[in-house]
Amino acid sequence: MRNCRWLPLAARLPLVAPQSARLALGLLAVVLTATAAPVQAGGSEAIGSEAVGSEAGGDPLVAGLALLSEGRYAEAAEALAALVAEQEQRADAGAADDERSIRALIGAGQSLRHLGKQAEALEFFEAAITRHTATPPNGGGQPDGVGQPNGMSRPGGVGRANPPGAAAGGPLDPLRLAAADCAFRTGAFEVAAAHCAAVLASTDQPSLRAAAERLAVRVKNEQGQCREAWERLEVLCRPPEVDRAAWADVALAIGLRALTQREPQTAADACRWFLDHAPADAGREVAVLGVAWAAAQGAESHARAAELLLEFVAEFPGSPNVPRALLVAAGCLRRSDQPAEASEVLQRLLAEHPQSSEAAAAIAQLAEWSPGAPLSEAALETIRQQLDRGEAIADAVLVEAIAASAGGNHPELWQAATDALLERPSSRGKVEQVLAVLGERGKPADAERLAAMILGGAADDAVEPAFEQAARWAAVHGRWSMLALAAEYMDAGTGSDASGSEMGGSEMRGSRAAEEDARWERFSPLSLRLLAEGLVQVGRSRKARPLLDRLVEVHQVSDFDVFVRRAEIALASDPRADARAAVEQAIAAVSTPGEQTLADILQAQLLIREARMDEARVLLEGIVRDGETSAEIKARAQWLMGETHFLQRRYREAVEAYRVVETFNGEGAWTAAALVQAGKAFEQLGRPRDAAICYSGLLRRFGDSPHAAAARDRLAAIGRSTELR
């Protein structure tokens, strides 16, 4: 079958009025009735069979209409459209031919409606309407009841309904209703409204007016004028003879559209009206839920909305909307200051519908409303399954899942949740929160396990900001050895201390440098600083120097604290010239009085290394006497004064200086350092008993101090010496 270009053919139709409107309109009733259109046109079924049968005998119009009556819609549409095109091409076309074109237009439109081609059908119907209304027949008044033109026109000859200025002829009303229905179904609501208005202005026939009013109300609703549509429906249904059940579906449509428009009162009114007038239980579930949703949107109080939602759940427990209703009911209860009841509803949702999408939201709400509240086994299993499927879950849920699975009770969930924590970019920033929650809930061992897991992947797959947050947690909790191990693991991964002979020297160094850059570039400056500090705190300062150098040279960090650490390491291990350069760089970065004091400490240490003890003591005495200096800095300066005397073998003065340290530092680290050094000074003075008192006091008070090992060794040595005597 050849392809039929329906729309161009209809658009080019000439506007010629029929000579016999009665015959054309009779055939209109035939087609509309015979094809059982969605909007009933009215008219006599007897005319249909009689008209088709009376013109049999090879007539293409009759053949096309016969195809339509047989349900062969595609063939009918093409045949009738072709007939319209043929009539158009005839130069000698008369009134009879024009009547045939109108009949063909109507038949083609009906065929297209049955094919679901509503937009194309609308074009044909409007073309037929335009032909009827364009020019009064015989150049005069209204023939056979056909109304005057009502302003329906469109460029190209295809009519569009404009708001009519005068009543149109009644016999056209069924066709206008068919056109309105097509326009409605294609979303051309203005066109549908105009056709309905034309029908209402034209006819007093109850069935046609009812159909037009019904469609006009539906149009208003689809245009978002829900309140106007509802008020019109109420007016139309006031007469006692009106069949309200016939309007129930329209009321429900208004209610549902009002919900999407956030018009809760209209939604509640329309849905309740539906429940009062709908036949049997048809649509009851939707309407009951609509009333509850409207209440939740503001038509009722939060408490009442929760009641209505729970009533819906009780009446329709098998509805797929139950999980959502429970979730919303919990929210309403929460907003009505009933948190305990809200939590109970959420727990019910998790217990009865653990596989629903709302279960995850319920867990998230529980995590937000009641952090630390125990999650049920069903909830934990739901989370695990979601993670296994790779579904996104709220960060608050992830935190609760890790906290709940800590301690080894749910190893699969722990693994899945911690993996998600590190793999999802949006969740990596929650590491610090997870570690804090674990600590707050009495699970410090699990916090350390998680931090160690993150820091332990440093050389392979560490990611920021998770690594930085784990490192910060370790520093805050004094887990310096954990940071030092991570740094050494990284250093071992770079192979920076390895030697090899397969490549030439410069080539090998270049390769190592590139590998090291690639390995370290993943880490933030703060991560590098904390790793370096970990090495310093466990006495491996020299290994911290490359990290500090990288901060300065690669990350362009000009932070005074970094320069101080570099200078301290340089003073302990670098050549004198390098140490001086590092100290001068730190001094140049000073910006506050407190930083100046630390810079003076470094300067004093440099003077001590250069054996300029008297100059160093003068500088240190000034620091100790400064009332603005902190106690810890004073203790450090006092300890260094003791060191100047010790290095000059002035042991009595050294002991006196070390004793003063405790007055500044109490139980601090410098007091421990002073005790061990005072013990050594006493040994040099030949006073082993006093030395042993110093060492024993250190071990008793600072058993975990880095100086404890030296104190034990010296005590053992003093014991052996006493035995030998």
Residue 84 and residue 105 in contact, taking contact as beta carbons nearer than 8 Å:
yes
Task: Tell me the mean pLDDT in the region 335-364.
Answer: 87
Q: What is the Cα–Cα distance from 554 to 546, expressed in whole angstroms?
A: 11
Average pLDDT, the chain: 81
Q: Could you give the CA distance from residue 421 to residue 304 in angstroms, rounded to a whole number?
A: 40
pLDDT at 644: 96
Instruction: Name which residue leads in pLDDT, 656 or 351.
Output: 656
Per-residue model confidence (pLDDT) at position 513: 59
Q: Which amino acid is at 683?
A: E
Of the listed ranges 301-305, 379-383, 638-642, 673-677, the one predicted with least confidence: 379-383
Among residues 136, 137, 6, the alpha carbon closest in space to that of 84 is found at 6
- Residue 649's region, left for phi above 0, alpha for psi from -120 to 50, else beta, is left
pLDDT on residue 12: 36
* List of long-range contacts for 263-268, beta carbons under 8 Å, 24+ apart: 263/226, 263/227, 264/294, 264/295, 264/297, 264/298, 264/299, 265/294, 265/299, 266/226, 266/227, 266/230, 267/226, 267/291, 267/293, 267/294, 267/297, 267/299, 268/294, 268/295, 268/299, 268/300
Tokens 């990284």 belong to which residue? Answer: 490
In whole angstroms, what is the distance from residue 522 CA to residue 53 CA?
Answer: 87
Question: What CA–CA distance (Å, rounded) separates 397 from 690?
Answer: 61
Instruction: Assess contact for 470 and 454: CB atoms under 8 A.
Output: yes
pLDDT at 515: 59
Q: What are phi and psi of 537, to 5 degrees?
A: -65, -25
Q: What are the CA-CA distances from residue 406 to residues 380, 461, 462 (Å)?
A: 12, 23, 22
- The residue type found at 100 is R
> pLDDT above 70 covers what percent of the chain?
80
Q: Mark 439-455 as b/e (b = at least 16 C-beta within 10 Å).
A: eebebeebbbbbbbebb
Greatest C-alpha distance within the chain? 149
For the record, the structure tokens of 494 come out as: 């770079």
Q: What is the pLDDT of residue 410?
A: 87
> Does 492 score more than 60 pLDDT?
no
Output the pLDDT for position 163: 37
Digit-coded pLDDT (tens) for 160-212: 333 333 333 456 889 999 999 999 999 999 999 999 999 999 889 999 999 99
* Dist. CA 623–CA 609, nearest whole Å: 19
Assess contact for 406 and 443: CB atoms under 8 A. yes
By residue count, the chain amounts to 725
What per-residue confidence (pLDDT) applies to 286?
A: 95
Residue 259 token pair: 């919900």
How far is the C-alpha of 289 from the C-alpha of 270, rounded, in Å? Answer: 12
For range 144-163, the mean pLDDT: 34
Per-residue pLDDT, 78: 93
Confidence of residue 27 (pLDDT cuts 50, 70, 90): very low
Is the pLDDT at 225 greater than 60? The verdict is yes
Residue 150 to residue 365: CA distance in whole angstroms: 61
The pLDDT tens digits for 349-358 are 988 888 788 8
Is there a contact between 271 and 291 (Cβ–Cβ < 8 Å)? yes
Lowest average pLDDT, out of 345-354, 371-380, 394-403, goes to 371-380
The conformational region for residue 168 under phi > 0 = left, psi -120 to 50 = alpha, else beta, is beta
In this predicted structure, the answer to whether residue 550 has a pLDDT above a threshold of 60 is yes
pLDDT score for 170: 54
Of 207, 239, 208, 234, nearest to 220 by C-alpha is: 234
On the question of pLDDT at 725 being above 90, the answer is no
Predicted local confidence at residue 424, as pLDDT: 73
pLDDT in tens, 574-620: 899 999 999 999 999 999 999 999 999 999 999 999 999 999 999 99
Q: Is the pLDDT of residue 71 over 70?
A: yes
The band of 503, judged by pLDDT with boundaries at 50, 70 and 90, is very low
* pLDDT at 258 exceeding the cut of 60: yes
In tens, the pLDDT along 4-25 reads: 444 343 333 333 333 333 333 3
**Stretch 380-386: mean pLDDT, rounded?**
82
Cα separation, 457 vs 463, whole angstroms: 9
Residue 531 pLDDT more than 80? yes
Of the listed ranges 48-62, 131-145, 214-228, 382-396, the one predicted with least confidence = 131-145
Mean pLDDT for the stretch of residues 527-544: 90
How confident is the model over 91-116, as a mean pLDDT? 82
Structure pTM? 0.56
**For residue 257, what pLDDT band results from cuts at 50, 70 and 90?**
very high
In the prediction, which pLDDT does 464 show? 74
